[in-house]
Amino acid sequence: MNPQKTEIRRPGAIRFLSILAVAAWAAAGCGTTNPPSTNNNNGGDGGVPGDGGNPPIATSSHRLSLAKDCGSIRTRVVDATTEQLLENYFGQGMMRGGMEDAAGGAPTAAPGEKSKPDDYTKTNVQEEGVDEDDFVKTDGEHIYLLQGADLVILKSWPADKTSEIARYRLGDNGNDRNTWGQSMFLHKDRLAVFSQVYEYPQHQEGREYNPEDYFYGTRVTVLNIKDRAKPVLERKIDIEGWLTGGRMVSGQIYAISNAQIRAVWDFWSDLYNKKIINLPERTWKETKEELKALKDAYRPVFRAYVTGKMGDGDVTRLFPRRRTYNSEGKLTNQAPLYACTDLYLPEQITQLGFLNLTHFNLEGEPVIRSIGLMAQGWELYASTGNLYVALSSRWWWWGWGGDQDHSQADIHKFKMRGPNGDPVYEATGVVDGWILNQFSMSEYNDHLRVATTDNRWEAGGPRDETTDKGGNHIIVLKQEGRDLAITGQLRNLAPGERIFAARMMGPKGYLVTFRNVDPLFTLDLSDPANPRKVGELKIPGFSSYIHPMGENHLLTIGQDADDQGVVTGMHLQVFDVSNFADPKRTHQFKISTGRWSSWSEAMWDHKAFTYHPVKKVLGIPLNIYDWSEDGTSKGEHFSGLALFKASADGFQEIGRVNHTDMVNMAYCKKHYGEWACNTPNEYPWWTSMRRSIFIEDYVYSISNVGVKVNDLLNPKQERARVVTDTAEIR
């Protein structure tokens, strides 16, 4: 599960400020209509052969085309705004899309160490050779950590001498409180750091809204760290919008961001105050047909209103801005992120907004270029050669281009390393259902496998009520011209359930769905024309992340549950898949929930999951909340890192590293005064364990307040600690 993918935004609260982001994307072409596969394999329990009766998906109507000029963009803005207003006023009470409703004493000395560590864990990634952005990176000798508005560099070797050697402030001009680090990439002697920037004018009575006064965006800071103790700024760029994610292959970074249009008018106010025209009062009892007739009747009126509001000014004023700084940190240029002819338009009318793809070159000169797509998308997957961005139909209006009773997702493919290393648009595909996360996509032998959940809505019924129609699909796509054509599919697995975890590796795939019990499906993906369900195992609870453990075993994390599907706490599991037709759960380790709950960031963020395949050691952040009825903490109450021996032979807890005592150092004494320090573990929720790194035989646990260094196989032995949270950044 990934909570950040389910944000709800209220339309009345959005004023179309600039909320744009880092990135770019590419090009267009023509294609054909793809009929569904005639795959006749049986999906087993809940699986339906072939296309399940769905109509063909015309991918040509979802392709991208490069904007010919600024006029075509103006037309698209008018069209999209018109439909947005119509849907908001004459819709069935729900707006879809981006505007939905809208301990320890002094450490003892460690034994003799190597001069340089050879064995250390890096960011847990999906694909070998494809790095992913995260807020902590390491090269073994140093740890690079984002803490508030600062980049903190720690000397991490020798372990017992771990200490802070540099701190670089990411903000400027007194705006540090409005700047906070998000993620980064490390490549040789360079760091590319992403931070969020939020600037707004002081409130003044009578001051009119002006989007030029606001800046919500992503700062890219490129640092030379040849001397780790003295980071040197090479380049800095601000891009309006919020970073969605990034990938790096051989020093080439590709970052995806999303942004809303920077409009100067507030049409929400005009709509609800009925300044557009004498709109009819809604009874909220209109039928679907009556609402469609109202939309058709008022479309010319709304279009005329929007056209008048748009005027004939420069359309690029709606684009996200790019601010460029020199090596001294001085602003040298501000301009639109891209020109009109660098913007691509999907055939399908989508929500107002921009999806941007930005290319960074950390090899040689750190060149940064962006292109854009007039749409919004949040799922990013990359192989070593191609990048895919998925846009769910929740980002376009239901009913545009025909009635739908289920969701779809557009997937745009970009070839990396085109001219100058920039990505090049290749093709578009369309799949039924919605995509959970990046692990729902995987490329193998020039085919893209996609796992989707496709529970349908009853025709004319409430859109939040699903039926047992549909199910979960594995759809295989291959590029044919400008289309990602469907070459094979396995449809309607586990109707009425939804995907909680997916992992596809080479010719094999694994899928976890959940409602009351957790079916683990094993999938044969060796033949792209005939993906097959081979085995199935039903057990209580679910897995939310699947990690490979050799050829024949899976290591998972998730929540245990009773027979009615009520979750009862975190658990770890090992599955034996050596007999692909008969997968078995061989080991389970239940983690106490306390009286309230237990959770781990590793359940929904694989980067918080650290596993050493040789040492067979697993580290996960762990929070256990236990409160008595009188409101005091008397039971098991923990916030820190849990370490386990994890192998095909099962689990053994090694120990835990508790960070709650660091609250005293980082929060109580520096932020809240001595009154908050009387009981060391009274405020453990102030500590949030985030990551862990294994360097040789030591574990470096990283929380929001600092870093502890402990023996990996004897975590009671603390070697060092560093408080990285400071009063100055609060």
Say which residues have a Cβ less than 8 Å from residue 637's Cβ, sequence separation at least 6: 594, 624, 625, 626, 627, 681, 684
pLDDT higher than 50, residue 237: yes
- Residue 713: pLDDT above 70? yes
* Average pLDDT of the segment spanning 643-661: 94
**DSSP code, position 94:** -
Residue 32 pLDDT more than 50? Answer: no
Residue 137, helix vs strand vs coil: strand
Q: Give the closest residue to 659 by CA, choosing from 703, 621, 619.
A: 703
Q: What is the pLDDT of residue 710?
A: 98
Distance CA 355, CA 387 (A): 14
pLDDT of residue 21: 28
Q: What is the mean pLDDT of residues 125-129?
A: 97
> Which token pair is 620?
């996960």
Residue 97 pLDDT class (50, 70, 90 cuts): very low
Query: How high is the pLDDT of residue 465?
Result: 47
pLDDT at position 93: 46
Single-letter residue type at 72: S
269 has a pLDDT exceeding 50 = yes
Reduced to 3 states (helix: H, G, I; strand: E, B; else coil), residue 714 is coil
686: helix, strand or coil: helix
DSSP string, 478-502: EEETTEEEEEEEEEEESTT-EEEEE
Q: Are 473 and 493 in contact (CB under 8 A)?
A: yes
Q: Percent of the chain having pLDDT more than 90?
A: 48
What per-residue confidence (pLDDT) applies to 104? 37
Whole-number percent of the chain with pLDDT over 70: 75
Nearest CA to 648 among 573, 545, 574, 571?
574
Angle at 118 between CA 115 and CA 119, to 5 degrees: 130
pLDDT value at residue 14? 26
Q: Which of 21-25, 95-99, 114-118, 418-422 has the lowest mean pLDDT?
A: 21-25
pLDDT in tens, 569-603: 889 999 999 999 999 999 999 986 655 567 899 99
Q: What is the pLDDT of residue 242?
A: 92
Burial of 480 (0-12, 13-18, 19+ CB in 10 A): middle
Give me the pLDDT at residue 478, please.
97
Is the model's pLDDT at 124 over the cut of 80?
A: yes
Checking if the pLDDT of 8 tops 60, the result is no
Q: What is the average pLDDT across 554-583?
A: 91
Per-residue confidence (pLDDT) for residue 92, from 0 to 100: 59
Query: What are the φ/ψ torsions at residue 242 (nearest 5 degrees)?
Result: -110, 130
Helix ranges (H only) for 223-310 are: 267-272, 288-310
Beta strands in 175-251 (DSSP E): 179-187, 190-199, 215-224, 232-240, 242-249
Q: pLDDT per residue over 394-429, tens digit each?
A: 544 433 334 455 578 899 999 987 667 788 899 999
**Amino acid identity, residue 632?**
T
Listed residue (523, 528, 589) closest to 556, CA to CA: 589
Give the pLDDT score at 563. 79
- Crossing angle between the packed helical segments 288-310 and 70-90, to the nearest 10 degrees: 140
> Rounded to an integer, what distance in angstroms lies between the CA atom of residue 175 and that of residue 405?
47
pLDDT at residue number 52:
39
In the prediction, which pLDDT does 424 show?
Answer: 87
Average pLDDT over residues 192-218: 78
- Answer yes or no: are the C-beta atoms of 638 and 624 closer than 8 Å: yes
Model pLDDT for residues 141-151, shown as the tens digit of each residue: 999 999 989 99
Mean pLDDT of the chain: 80
pLDDT in tens, 35-74: 333 333 433 344 444 443 444 455 566 788 889 999 999 9
pTM of the model: 0.84
User: How buried is 515 (Cβ within 10 angstroms: 0-12 exposed, 13-18 middle, 19+ buried)?
Assistant: middle
> pLDDT tens digits for 471-506?
899 999 999 999 999 999 999 999 888 999 999 999
Nearest to 514 by CA among 450, 465, 565: 565
For 285-315, letters b (16+ CB in 10 Å) and e give eeeeeebeebbeebeebbbebbbebbeeeeb
Q: Is the pLDDT of residue 103 over 50?
A: no
Q: How confident is the model at residue 386 (pLDDT cuts 50, 70, 90)?
A: very high
- Quick: pLDDT tens for 437-478: 999 999 999 999 999 998 765 444 444 444 446 689 999 999
pLDDT of residue 90: 83
Residues in Cβ contact with 74 at an 8 Å cutoff, skipping those fewer than 6 apart: 310, 315
Strands across the sheet containing 150-155: 136-138, 142-147, 150-155, 163-169
Sequence ranges of the domains in the chain: 591-730
Residue 213 burial (10 A CB sphere; 0-12, 13-18, 19+) = middle
Average pLDDT over residues 681-697: 80
Whether residue 564 has pLDDT greater than 50: yes
The Cα 288–Cα 249 span in angstroms is 49
> What pLDDT, on a 0 to 100 scale, did the predictor assign at position 663?
74
Structure-model confidence comparison of residues 202 and 182, the more confident one: 182
Beta pairing class for 718-723 and 706-711: antiparallel
pLDDT of residue 456: 61
CA 627 to chain CA centroid, Å, is 32
Rounded CA-CA distance 64/84 in Å is: 21
Strand partners, 283: none
